[in-house]
């Protein structure tokens, strides 16, 4: 009886160990990691959607809410950084604190103001409007893979119904890096 249990445990252990070294499992992990990376578009634009970010939300102190992305940059150069928001009031975006944008050794910090109102935006529904705010510009010297972080009280989780947790609040939608042309 003990011998049969012992043999069964050995066979199960060998099966478990061999499955852990299966290259199929490693390929699956590589595929998952590649899917979570943000790739630079052919025109040079890098679009970072908050819904696709790894996020940290603190309901008690939303000023420390954080969104992070893993970005693959193919083209070096100077980029303008734009923040898109969903808001009910385009005259006051209601960011209580400045937005902090960190890209490698580059940091930008600005209080978003409505620089552009995007009419008929498909990613926001009435009574919200989509606005773009210029945060600043930065130079990316080398192509490669980078971690990008944004800290803002505008990073808000969505409720299950798809509406904002605080329905009157402005919510950050994305950060877009656009190559400068001058």
How far apart are the C-alpha atoms of 174 and 47, rounded to whole Å? 7
Contacts of 108-116 with CB under 8 Å at 24 or more apart are 108/81, 108/135, 108/136, 108/138, 110/134, 110/135, 110/136, 112/83, 112/85, 112/154, 114/87, 114/90
Q: What is the mean pLDDT of each run of 10 residues along the chain (182 residues)?
A: 51 40 41 68 96 89 93 96 94 92 94 91 87 96 96 78 56 95 68
pLDDT of residue 81: 98
- Which residues, 6+ apart, have CB-to-CB distance to 45 below 8 Å? 176, 177, 178, 179
pLDDT of residue 174: 96
pLDDT of residue 35: 55
pLDDT of residue 26: 43
- Predicted TM-score of the model (pTM): 0.75
How far apart are the C-alpha atoms of 48 and 62, rounded to whole Å? 20
pLDDT of residue 121: 83
The first and second tokens of residue 138, run together, are 């930065």
């Amino acid at each position: 009886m003990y011998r049969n249990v012992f043999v069964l445990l050995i066979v199960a252990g060998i099966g478990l160990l061999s499955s852990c070294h299966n290259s199929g499992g490693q390929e699956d992990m590589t595929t998952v990691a590649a899917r979570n990376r943000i790739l630079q578009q052919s025109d040079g634009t890098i679009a970072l959607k908050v819904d696709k970010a790894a996020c940290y939300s603190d309901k008690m102190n939303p000023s420390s809410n954080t969104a992070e992305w893993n970005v693959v940059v193919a083209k070096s150069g100077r980029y303008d950084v734009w923040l898109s928001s969903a808001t009910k009031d385009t005259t006051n975006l209601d960011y209580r604190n400045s937005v902090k944008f960190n890209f490698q050794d580059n940091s930008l910090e600005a209080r978003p103001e409505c620089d552009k109102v995007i009419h008929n935006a498909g990613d926001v529904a009435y009574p919200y409007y989509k606005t773009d705010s210029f945060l600043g510009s930065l130079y990316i010297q080398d192509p490669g893979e980078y971690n990008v972080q944004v800290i803002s009280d505008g990073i808000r989780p969505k409720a299950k119904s798809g509406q904002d947790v605080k329905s009157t609040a402005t919510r950050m939608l994305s950060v877009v890096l656009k190559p400068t042309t001058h």
